[in-house]
Structure 1
Amino acid sequence: MNSLKCRILFFLVFSFFISQGQDKYWVFFKERDLSQSQPVSDKTYKNRENLGIKTYQESDFGPFQDQVKVFSDVGLKVQNTSRWFNAVSVYLSDDEKIKAQSFPFVKEIRKINNYQYLATNSTPKNEDGIYLSYALHQINAGVFLEKGWLGEGVDIGVIDGGFFGANEDESIQHLFENKQIKETKDFFSPPKNDFYREKKSEGEIHGTMVTTAIAGFNPQKKQLFGVGLKSNFYLARTESSQKEARIEEDNWIAAIEWLDSLGVRLANSSLGYATGFTNPAESYKPEQMDGKTSLIGQGARMAVKEKGMILVVSAGNEGENKVWGGIVSTPGDVEEVISVGANNSNGLKMAYSSKGVENVDFIKPDLTVYSEFGTSLAAPIVTGIVALMIEKNPNLKSSEVKEILKFSGNLSSTPNNFVGYGFPDCSKIIAYLEKKDLISKKTETRKANKNIVIKTTQNEGIAIFHKKDDKNVISQELVQALGGRLEIKKNENVKQTTLILKDRIIEILWKN
């Protein structure tokens, strides 16, 4: 009997007598099985070819199956297998972990020990007598309807916590009637019953609402909630939607790999991972929100940079969490993804919406969209827009999509870490894609000492951001001009102030 088999036999016998708590771990393997048959679909290869990225990638190949089988042979159930990270997730006791580390093919074992926050499970706001939801009205989404752009033929993946009642929700019935729901997969707990009937908490409708915000239309009220009406959907459940649930980030990684293997390029994830309730010692730390540290962030980054996917994620609802610093959650901290926060009707950040980290050289969130009910319902609005962009130009790269969205923002020239580049303007997106002349809002720069008077005929409230530098906001406010005059005073520690008027943006540079 060789040494590996001896270790396995000892491990099996030893584990039988061990009875203690287990934690979930990532087990990373030293080598990949490059002899595996085609690991992804022809559609995936075709997407990569069209985008000009490598079609053959070693990260498409996972661990050797006989090495993975070792864990089941000793009575341990592998939860998920990640091809991208060449790893499996598995529950291990302390003693089982020690024994697993002795396997010669194991490179590293890393604990999965973070918690999840989900946004509230309220439904999108209805505006009586208004055809577009306010979120769509704010971003001028009606121009897509005039063009007849509905996202036809575009595949969208939705990674979420549950899709309870989706097949009975009247706002997305057209997706079922027209067979636009192509595939579903439960990575958290394969239900014994129907995929749409698994309800362990009220939060299990979260994914249903997110899908509605991408492609929902209420025929009774004649109200549009999302613009991707003719897109195809691939639904992945990766979480229990209970608020204090332990993160199953391996499920998220398995889901994004599943979507990539099917050739699905566009994905929405309205799940964010940050701090926890039960055991704070196991939560992420604010300084880890750098877009590189978390494994789920690394997976998101790989999906965009290496696999050519377009990933739209919610920025998070930690804006009022002072202990956390109010910053974005992961994977919303990843530079390459499109992170979406929430703004109010005046374009100011909703109090709950997470802001970007200060000590990075990129802006987060990238955009904001109106939402009273969490950034979870802001991100899918943008996902719907992206679907229409891909319908118009299927070969758009993620970086190109992101630049177009940022250019269309009402703060395109003066972004900040509260609202990013602001809320998009769909008319500008169409103009860009149709290569028409683009008219950007004029930006003026003024210098002042302690105060400055701005002349304006604008009667509506004016959104103002006071900043410590060119991007990091100290405070925001809504002010009103009196008699055509608006006086702005320099606040303590403020270096720059941004005023958003209807006809222009004014950037005030305060002198010391």
Structure 2
Amino acid sequence: MRIFIASILLIIAYHSFAQTGPNKYWVKLTDKDNNQYSLDSPELFLSQRALVRRQTQGISITNTDLPVTQLYIDSLKSLGLTIHNISKWFNAVTVETTDTDLLDTISNLGFVQGSEKVCTFKCRLENNFTPAIVDHSKSLSVNTYNYGVAANQIEMFNGQLVHNAGYTGEGVHIAVIDAGFLYSDVHPGLDSLMNSGRLLGTKDFVDGDNNVFDHHQHGHNVLSTMAALDNGGMVGTAPHASYWLLRSEDTGAEYRVEEDNWISAAEFADSAGVDIINTSLGYNTFYDATQNYTYEDLDGNTARMSIAVDLASAKGILVTVSAGNEGSLSWHYINVPADADSALTVGAVNEQAEYASLSSTGPTFDGRIKPNVAAQGKNTYLASGASGYVTGSGTSFSSPLVAGMAACLWQSNRGLTNMQLLHVIEQSSSQYNAPDSLLGYGIPDFYYALLLIEAGKDEKPLKNDLFTVYPNPFSDEMNIDLFPSDSQTVVLEVIGANGQLLYNSEFFVMAGVRNHIVLDSRDIGDFSFYCIVRIITDKKVYKEKVIRAK
């Protein structure tokens, strides 16, 4: 499945009204004076989880957290305007009216700053699925789950090893902002989510109600890659996480109001206390070619939705975003909001872990690496319809795969900030030392990321001052230099990617001098593309990832 949501934003410096759809306008307000809430009592407008997230990550509560002044909203309503959505981050409202004479009246209100001109867009959802053959009789092997059809997309980044370690997303809250979740409430692969109390709630920012199960199934497909728990059928990357299902996309519309819907949905998710937002939506082109985004707009600070992603991140939320499906088209760049500075933008690879030509490319206009990482987005398995599984293609599905695994990592250490989590995922990836515009830092190794996080709880997480390992990658010999502060006996271990102990020995090392150890590859034995060298001292444990040269 591929999703294309193309839109246009023509900025007129916040000095005119933004027509975001038929009879709909984005109105920017000047301030939050006469507000019914105060920053001194944030518990009145933020959930306890939202407050704890800010406290844990050292984030201050600011004016952007305050709701829009109700007096201003009531004043707009009194003019006969219908309030469609409200944004506290941008201090703006989306209003609806058929009376264009009211626009002059609104512009003369003292609390109205104005807005930007926004034109129409085309949204196109394509459903090109191949049914999957599910064999529930396959053995569980040594893994916690029998992943069924999802085995390849999970094992490609060692997700099964993270699950085996006991991390399945439990206690982590994920908001899925999408086009609808048709069939999610009846598909047997999502029974565990629906019946265990882990469905936190639903909200439709298009129709203004709470029913998200009566529209497009794109969100259903996306959700299943994380939340499915059908042992032997399909298991997702975060089968025990909790989920908010939020609809922001009107698949039948051709107007910019969907972007405003997304912003309101993200703000709702923040206030509800979610940890992760996944969005598999993207914007770039329009019917009117003069209104298209240009490459120059992909700077992370131009498109309103990209700015909103950064605002969500500033609140401590990890936002995963699909890169886009235009890799083989004339517009081959990432979409908005994949250009956002703090987004964890996810590209796509095929079943063989090779770049999938559909995946949109970077870098951003200002030269930043995008996508950040990649996961299987070609022939990805997912739930479809009221039962069964299919393969679909698109970064819409690689992004939630990564979001789910991020939830598992966060479960292992709730003290991490969202940016620490993002960076450790990048550092675990296959081409961290040589990122490019196709896959960014590459395919994450989530088990290695878990090792880094566990080391960081009470050890040196990302840098070893005690020892160095070289060359890296290595082929025949691995050299280890140790520089301990105290003379002592240390334990040297080499651990394979699957957790198997490959080598174990004790060495007495002297303080103040270089202690040189050489390991022959024959001493270590066979292992996959990397191993973990672990030095256990009398005070700490140090770890380093070492790659075997091909």
Kindly indicate which of the two structures has a greater share of residues assigned to strand.
2
Match of 2:373 among 354, 367, 380: 367
2-side partners of 1:66 and 1:171: how far apart? 46
Q: Who is 1:195 aligned against? A: 211
* 3-state SS of 2:115 partner: strand
Post-superposition CA distance 1:404-439 (Å, at most 9, x none) = 111111111100111111111122112112218989
Q: Who is 1:310 aligned against? A: 318
Which residues of 2 match residues 487-506 of structure 1 at below 5 A?
Answer: 503-504=548-549
Instruction: State the AA in 1 paired with 2:57.
Output: L
Task: Give yes or no for contact 2:120–2:254 (8 Å, CA) kept in 1.
Answer: no
For residue 289 of structure 1, report the CA deviation from its aligned partner: 1.5
For residue 149 of structure 1, report the CA deviation from its aligned partner: 1.1
Match of 2:241 among 208, 212, 231: 231
* 3-state SS of 2:116 partner: strand
Q: Who is 1:284 aligned against? A: 293
1-side partners of 2:52 and 2:224: how far apart? 29
Which residues of 2 match residues 90-169 of structure 1 at below 5 A?
Answer: 90-91=95-96, 95-113=101-119, 115=121, 117=123, 120-121=126-127, 126=132, 131=148, 132-169=150-187
Q: Who is 1:405 aligned against? A: 425
| Residue 46 (structure 2) pairs with residue 40 (structure 1) | yes
1-side partners of 2:398 and 2:253: how far apart? 19
**Alpha carbons of 1:230 and 1:260: their partners in 2 closer, same or farther (altered >3 Å)?**
same
2-side partners of 1:441 and 1:178: how far apart? 50
Task: Give yes or no for contact 1:27–1:88 (8 Å, CA) kept in 2.
Answer: yes
For residue 59 of structure 1, report the CA deviation from its aligned partner: 0.7
2-side partners of 1:159 and 1:250: how far apart? 12
For residue 284 of structure 1, report the CA deviation from its aligned partner: 2.5
For residue 49 of structure 1, report the CA deviation from its aligned partner: 0.8
1-side partners of 2:312 and 2:470: how far apart? 32
Q: Could you tell which deviates more after superposition, 390-399 or 79-88?
A: 390-399
Task: Give yes or no for contact 2:125–2:251 (8 Å, CA) kept in 1.
Answer: no
Which residues of 2 match residues 226-265 of structure 1 at below 5 A?
Answer: 226-242=236-252, 246-265=256-275
**Alpha carbons of 1:440 and 1:59: their partners in 2 closer, same or farther (altered >3 Å)?**
farther
Task: Give yes or no for contact 1:116–1:272 (8 Å, CA) kept in 2.
Answer: no
* 3-state SS of 2:365 partner: coil
2-side partners of 1:400 and 1:432: how far apart? 11
Post-superposition CA distance 1:371-420 (Å, at most 9, x none) = 22110000000111111111111121121111111111111110011111
| Residue 266 (structure 2) pairs with residue 266 (structure 1) | no
**Alpha carbons of 1:388 and 1:76: their partners in 2 closer, same or farther (altered >3 Å)?**
same
Instruction: State the AA in 1 paired with 2:313.
Output: V
Q: Could you tell which deviates more after superposition, 128-137 or 182-191?
A: 128-137
Q: Who is 1:214 aligned against? A: 226
Instruction: State the AA in 2 paired with 1:291.
Output: G
Match of 1:171 among 157, 172, 189: 189
Q: Who is 1:335 aligned against? A: 341
Match of 1:293 among 290, 302, 308: 302
Task: Give yes or no for contact 1:160–1:269 (8 Å, CA) kept in 2.
Answer: yes
| Residue 452 (structure 2) pairs with residue 442 (structure 1) | no
Q: Could you tell which deviates more after superposition, 110-119 or 73-82?
A: 110-119
Q: Could you tell which deviates more after superposition, 156-165 or 434-443?
A: 434-443
Post-superposition CA distance 1:199-234 (Å, at most 9, x none) = 3xxxx0011111101121334xx0344121111111
2-side partners of 1:254 and 1:178: how far apart? 27
1-side partners of 2:434 and 2:251: how far apart? 37
When the two structures are superposed, what TM-score results if normalisation uses the length of structure 1?
Answer: 0.75
Post-superposition CA distance 1:108-153 (Å, at most 9, x none) = 2223335365664456985765734321121121102211211111
For residue 247 of structure 1, report the CA deviation from its aligned partner: 4.9
Identity value in percent: 28
* 3-state SS of 1:255 partner: helix
Task: Give yes or no for contact 2:295–2:365 (8 Å, CA) kept in 1.
Answer: no
Task: Give yes or no for contact 2:298–2:364 (8 Å, CA) kept in 1.
Answer: no
Which residues of 2 match residues 8-19 of structure 1 at below 5 A?
Answer: none
For residue 172 of structure 1, report the CA deviation from its aligned partner: 1.1
| Residue 117 (structure 2) pairs with residue 72 (structure 1) | no
Instruction: State the AA in 2 paired with 1:65.
Output: Q
* 3-state SS of 2:177 partner: strand
For residue 319 of structure 1, report the CA deviation from its aligned partner: 1.4
Structure 2: runs of 5 or more not aligned: 1-20, 39-43, 139-146, 379-392, 463-468, 475-546
* 3-state SS of 2:24 partner: strand
**Alpha carbons of 1:216 and 1:121: their partners in 2 closer, same or farther (altered >3 Å)?**
farther
Which residues of 2 match residues 49-68 of structure 1 at below 5 A?
Answer: 49-54=55-60, 56-68=61-73
Task: Give yes or no for contact 1:116–1:247 (8 Å, CA) kept in 2.
Answer: no
1-side partners of 2:344 and 2:438: how far apart? 15
**Alpha carbons of 1:440 and 1:366: their partners in 2 closer, same or farther (altered >3 Å)?**
farther
Q: Could you tell which deviates more after superposition, 266-275 or 121-130?
A: 121-130
Q: Who is 1:88 aligned against? A: 93
**Alpha carbons of 1:227 and 1:114: their partners in 2 closer, same or farther (altered >3 Å)?**
same
Task: Give yes or no for contact 1:115–1:247 (8 Å, CA) kept in 2.
Answer: no
For residue 67 of structure 1, report the CA deviation from its aligned partner: 1.7
**Alpha carbons of 1:145 and 1:67: their partners in 2 closer, same or farther (altered >3 Å)?**
closer
2-side partners of 1:122 and 1:390: how far apart? 33
Task: Give yes or no for contact 2:59–2:316 (8 Å, CA) kept in 1.
Answer: yes
1-side partners of 2:156 and 2:115: how far apart? 47
Instruction: State the AA in 1 paired with 2:219.
Output: G
When the two structures are superposed, what TM-score results if normalisation uses the length of structure 2?
Answer: 0.70
Q: Who is 2:328 aligned against? A: 320
**Alpha carbons of 1:380 and 1:301: their partners in 2 closer, same or farther (altered >3 Å)?**
same
Instruction: State the AA in 2 paired with 1:366.
Output: N
Instruction: State the AA in 2 paired with 1:51.
Output: Q
Post-superposition CA distance 1:48-94 (Å, at most 9, x none) = 1111111x211112332222222222221111111111110123565
Q: Could you tell which deviates more after superposition, 21-30 or 266-275?
A: 21-30
Task: Give yes or no for contact 1:124–1:377 (8 Å, CA) kept in 2.
Answer: no
Which residues of 2 match residues 426-465 of structure 1 at below 5 A?
Answer: 426-435=446-455, 442=472
Task: Give yes or no for contact 1:163–1:205 (8 Å, CA) kept in 2.
Answer: yes
Post-superposition CA distance 1:422-471 (Å, at most 9, x none) = 11112211211221898999359xxxxxxxxxxxxxxxxxxxxxxxxxxx
For residue 333 of structure 1, report the CA deviation from its aligned partner: 0.6
